[in-house]
Structure 1
Amino acid sequence: MVRGDDREPRAYHHGNLRQALIDAGVELARTGGPNAVLLRAASREAGVSHNAAYRHFANQEDLLAAVAQRCMSRLSLLMIERMDRITTRDRVRRAQARLGAIGRAYLEFARAEPGWFRTAFSSARPHQGSGEAPAADDAVPNPYDVLSAALDELVAVGAITPERRDGAEYAAWSGVHGLSSLLLDGPLHDLPEPEVERAIGTVLAVISRGLS
């Protein structure tokens, strides 16, 4: 697709302009992160006038918040997909493997889709009172809920005690998010791939041992 400010807008043929603008914003975020999610750019990508976007988004942050939610949903879906791949029959080992799988999925998403990852955690907030219903794609559990369910499963199968479970999502999420940030934008950015895998394995192992 040709990109540039001098491109003529395309005729709008979509049935849902709001979703078309979010879709455009998601693609902008994928390559440029949250700073690329601009109302004017999304309008151009959707093939509509800049003013048309304001019928659905109050301002720039309103659009970014919707795009961030979509990116967060993408992260959740990958976590769920990786977790559902675990088919170990032993209930305890399965629950433990499912927790590890969502941790790896989180790190995989950050490294494979850095623009989406940065956008998902951009802290943008939607404009209050927009009255817009959420898209079906965005109605998936958020990563916190996915993690919480995996930890609850560990309790249900007797892998950890309720006392160990209490507040564990904060430590687990902090561990994988911190490593994701260090690998993406921090001093571990240029770490050789074998060391990246070692770092991932170590962090996940420490989380697992801390719960035991």
Structure 2
Amino acid sequence: MTEQKRSTYRHGDLRRALVAAGTELAREGGPSAVVLREVTRRTGVTPNAAYRHFADKRALLHAVSMAAQAELARSIEDEQAGLQPTDDDGAAARARLRAVGAGYLRFAQSQPGLFRTAFAEHADLRDAGSADSAGASGLTPFQLLSAALDGLVEAGVLPKERRLGAEFLAWSSVHGLAMLVIDGPLRGLDLEQRTFAAQRLLEMVEKGL
């Protein structure tokens, strides 16, 4: 172990280092690649040291999945940050919603290992609001979607009575396409076909709401 690592871990950052190592393993091979032995090897500590922070592999994988969610949130934020400004509140609200879906799909295709891991070991929707899953804005992917839908209501695009539960409809649709493209029968689509499918799906979700 290097002196720099000793110093970092002495200040209580071992948990963070273990999660970072696990995240890189997930990036390379998905949730099944998050193996405690390899995580400790990469961080230069013993398994006993890791067990002081995580009770078992499932606890470590859960923490890594939260970190993957945070990267997903940043992908969505990057997509929204690239939107062109407009004085049309309705058009801006629609664009922000489409950006949530576009950032989600882009992350799934560019980081399939992390995307698969982002949903590992989640017990329920409480994880969707965890601060550990948040991006730079302080919002998680689910919260970014909720905020975009609230923006549609505020802009007068989405009737208030249709807002309830809209997250689940939009999320299910986009997540379904993402999984079909990376793990299902749509794996064989080329870039142009995937782009077309994504655009049409996002249009369908917007109009369906």
TM-score after normalising by structure 1: 0.86
Report the counterpart of residue 163 of structure 2 in structure 1: 165
- Residue 120 (structure 1) aligned with residue 118 (structure 2): yes
Distance across 1 between alignment mates of 2:106 and 2:159 = 29
Q: Say what the alpha-carbon RMSD is for the aligned residues.
A: 1.8
Report the counterpart of residue 147 of structure 1 in structure 2: 145
Deviations 1:124-181 (A, max 9, x none): 56xxxxxxxx769779322111101100000001111112222111110011100000
CA spacing shift, 1:137–1:145, aligned 2, 3 Å: closer
Distance across 2 between alignment mates of 1:49 and 1:24 = 14
Which of these residues, 49, 54, 72, is aligned with residue 51 of structure 2?
Answer: 54
Which of these residues, 101, 104, 126, is aligned with residue 102 of structure 2?
Answer: 104
Structure 2: tracts of 5 or more residues without a match: 124-130
SS at 2:120's partner residue? coil
Please say if residues 111 and 180 of structure 1, whose CA atoms lie closer than 8 Å, have aligned partners that are also in contact.
yes
Report the counterpart of residue 73 of structure 1 in structure 2: 70
Instruction: Flag the structure with higher helix content.
Output: 2
Report the counterpart of residue 209 of structure 1 in structure 2: 207
Distance across 1 between alignment mates of 2:156 and 2:107 = 30
User: Structure 1: which 4+ aligned runs deviate by more than 3 Å?
Assistant: 134-140
Structure 1: tracts of 5 or more residues without a match: 1-9, 126-133
SS at 1:195's partner residue? helix
TM-score after normalising by structure 2: 0.87
Report the counterpart of residue 196 of structure 1 in structure 2: 194
The aligned length equals 194
Distance across 2 between alignment mates of 1:184 and 1:71 = 16
Describe how 1:6-25 pairs up with structure 2 within 5 A: 10-11=1-2, 12-13=5-6, 14-15=8-9, 16-25=13-22
Please say if residues 68 and 133 of structure 2, whose CA atoms lie closer than 8 Å, have aligned partners that are also in contact.
no
Please say if residues 91 and 157 of structure 1, whose CA atoms lie closer than 8 Å, have aligned partners that are also in contact.
yes
